[in-house]
Amino acid sequence: MIVLFCVMLYAWAEIIGRVNLNQINFTLYFLGVFLAAIVSYRNSSNHSRESDSTSFLWVRSIRRTNHQTVVIALVIFGIIFTTKDKDISRLFVGSFLAAYWLTAIPLNRYVPQWIAKVAFHGDNSIRTVFLGSAKSARRLEHWASKQPFFGIDILGLITYEFVQDIDLKMQILGEFMELAELIESHKVDQVVLLETRNSDWWVDSVMEICSKAGCRILIFNPWEEYFDQELLPVSQGGHTFFTLQQEPLENPINRLVKRTMDICISLPVVLFVLPWMCLIVKIITSRQSPGPMFFKQERSGQKGQRFLIYKFRTMHLSDPSREGEQAKPGDDRIFAFGQLMRRTSIDEFPQFINVLMGQMSAIGPRPHLLQHDDDFSEQVNVYRTRHFVKPGITGLAQCKGFRGEVTELALIEERVRYDLEYIQCWSFWLDVWILCKTVVQIFFPPKTAY
């Protein structure tokens, strides 16, 4: 990033002649680019199951480059805005950002591999052996084949079994009774313990031998094969547990950030937007469909707690038996202005009262009818996992186009998938993106909005 900036700045000053180095604060911009390079560096510690395919590596490189480009753009434009610098060419800045994005993608793709080959060559690698049964070792053969990139050299298996497994691709080095001698002869740095065998003696013996030899011990978690999702360690009260999903909103600080955002959004809407909106809706609704202005209905919130949700009424007062029936295109229950409110999501605005009361959030999984909660939970086993967080006026699923009537199982499965993705991947910036996307949908509603 720094080299490209300096080279392009020199070229634009000396060759193209569009930048005057004597008129701009080169030191400030250089420090700014240096700061952007530091800030945009991300040492990823995410060990989730990701594809090792070439296509995914390119996607990951593009995502990383996008992050880096946004950071450097914010820094440079921040310097220009703060110093009111009119001498630096905006065309140069745009060209630099475009050039950086194009060159950084292949660098982010290939440089880590080049560094790994150099850094983990020869004695710098971690010489590792598996300790356990051939059956357990076979589960990790694919993992073992990828570890040389991370500097882990898998030497083979030390087993307590007497029969060699001919289907095992890795070499069988010997038996457990020879563990100390094998560690010394193969200069082993790390032992991966594949199983405990439900034996204190076995585990204590392995720990003692490895400790005396100065070997690291890596303990394999065999439970993952029973679950479709990744097991994530959680430390509580001195004990380690496993959970099936990350929940950023379990962090009190994150909850405080989200609640602050909800209040900052809902309070101005309730005080300044909702009153005159109620007046307009009441006047028009009373002419087209006399009756109450608000529609109130019981829904399930966080942890399944019941609350009354508020909406502007968009349907004629009809048979109560049709209350649980989903709205369809051309539904005769919806009056004309109600149709407009539904398409533009104006009918949802009273829910900011629920947000202000803490029953809902501005952004989260949409709350469904209680009857639909029961029906959908029968169709999708993880459906009620949506109740881990507060329901929202809008959510990730709605931004992805999944709103309106649920006509088939695949639709509710996709909604739930995006809802769970939101719960597991929540961030302040994800909420900002969903909010912006929702504003766009108000003016350009999707076809499923009816």
- The pLDDT score that the predictor gives to residue 358 is 95
- The pLDDT score that the predictor gives to residue 238 is 77
For 242-251, write each residue's pLDDT tens digit.
887 778 888 8
- The pLDDT score that the predictor gives to residue 46 is 45
The domain made up of 122-220 has a fold known as Rossmann fold (3.40.50)
* Strand bridging mode 232-236 / 239-243: antiparallel
Find the helix packing angle between 90-119 and 2-11, rounded to 10°: 140
Amino acid identity, position 376: F
Angle at 13 between CA 10 and CA 18, to 5 degrees: 140
Among 64-73, 314-323, 424-433, the least confident range: 314-323
For 361-383, write each residue's pLDDT tens digit.
999 999 998 988 898 988 888 89
Provide the pLDDT confidence category of residue 419 given band limits of 50, 70 and 90. Answer: very high
Query: Once rounded to an integer, what is the mean pLDDT over residues 193-220?
Result: 90
Local structure of residue 155 (DSSP, 8 states):
E
Mean pLDDT (the chain, rounded): 85
What is the rounded distance in angstroms from the CA atom of residue 274 to the CA atom of residue 290?
Answer: 20
- The pLDDT score that the predictor gives to residue 163 is 58
- The pLDDT score that the predictor gives to residue 306 is 94
- The pLDDT score that the predictor gives to residue 237 is 76
Residue 278 above 80 pLDDT? yes
- The pLDDT score that the predictor gives to residue 99 is 92
For 326-373, write each residue's pLDDT tens digit.
777 777 888 999 999 988 889 999 999 999 999 999 999 999 989 888
**CA–CA distance from 30 to each of 11, 33, 73 (Å)?**
15, 5, 13
- The pLDDT score that the predictor gives to residue 27 is 84
Domain boundaries, the chain: 2-44+51-119, 122-220, 250-443
- 137 closest CA partner among 192, 198, 199, 177: 192
For 64-94, write each residue's pLDDT tens digit.
899 899 998 998 888 888 888 877 888 888 8
- Secondary-structure percent of the chain, ordered helix, strand, coil, rounded to 5: 55, 15, 30
Local structure of residue 30 (DSSP, 8 states):
H
Helix (H) or strand (E) holding 363: strand 361-363
Amino acid identity, position 99: A
List all residues 6 or more positions away from 107 whose beta carbon is below 8 Å from its beta carbon: none
Contact 293, 312 (CB under 8 A): yes
Query: Once rounded to an integer, what is the mean pLDDT over residues 165-170?
Result: 72
- The pLDDT score that the predictor gives to residue 305 is 92
Residue 411 above 70 pLDDT? yes
Contact 150, 120 (CB under 8 A): yes
Helix (H) or strand (E) holding 129: strand 126-131
Residue 192 above 90 pLDDT? yes
Computed on alpha carbons and rounded to an integer, the radius of gyration of the chain in Å comes to: 30
